[in-house]
Amino acid sequence: MKREYIIEPCTATSFFVKKGGNVIVEDMNGGQVADFFAEAAENGDEFLSTGVTIDVNRSIKLKKGDVIYSDRYRPMFTLVADDVGAHDILHPSCRREMYDFFYNDGAGHPTCLDNIDHAMKKRHPEIRPVNLFMNTEIAADGSVKVLAPKSLPGDRVVLRAEMDAFVGISACSVHESACNDGECSSIKVYVED
């Protein structure tokens, strides 16, 4: 069975995917980040952990063949195809406090944290997602810079579920920086299970 979702700019969606199923995330217009978060379907207290993913993969970069892990060190997803090769696993989802801190415009601003929470019908204090298509540069001195995404229209990643999972994905809401190349657009998702 194949399901399709269009995530409009500055919104999110959620869905279940079965173990062995594929989640295909497409940057429809190019230059748009998608925050990808998941919980174990059997236990919402087990969730995607970028910290554990960095620990197990021994890398702050994701590449084809890498596994994304839960906070309990169990495989959640494998990156089986990747048109772009630049994704971020360092930054948390944007939220009101971030917009206030950096841009002084948090009041009423759509955020990935709120959008994913709304889609998943939950309240998370913080989400540390895989920021698909986000282009983060780490300099030799450890400084971090967010650049415009490298993704072009139609570029995709394919993630194979390694467990039954409840997924939340947002089309990132940041238009104030290079994160989404200055303009928020839509993300398309296909679920094959």
Give residue 105's pLDDT.
81
Average pLDDT over every residue of 8-15: 98
Digit-coded pLDDT (tens) for 117-157: 999 999 999 999 999 999 999 999 999 999 999 999 999 99
pLDDT category, 104, cuts 50, 70, 90?
Answer: confident
- Taking the whole predicted model, whether its pTM rises above 0.85 is answered as yes
Residues 99/105/108/110 CA torsion (nearest 10 deg): -40
Give burial (CB, 10 Å; 0-12/13-18/19+) of 126.
exposed
Digit-coded pLDDT (tens) for 36-71: 999 999 998 999 999 999 999 999 999 999 999 999
What CA–CA distance (Å, rounded) separates 11 from 77?
23
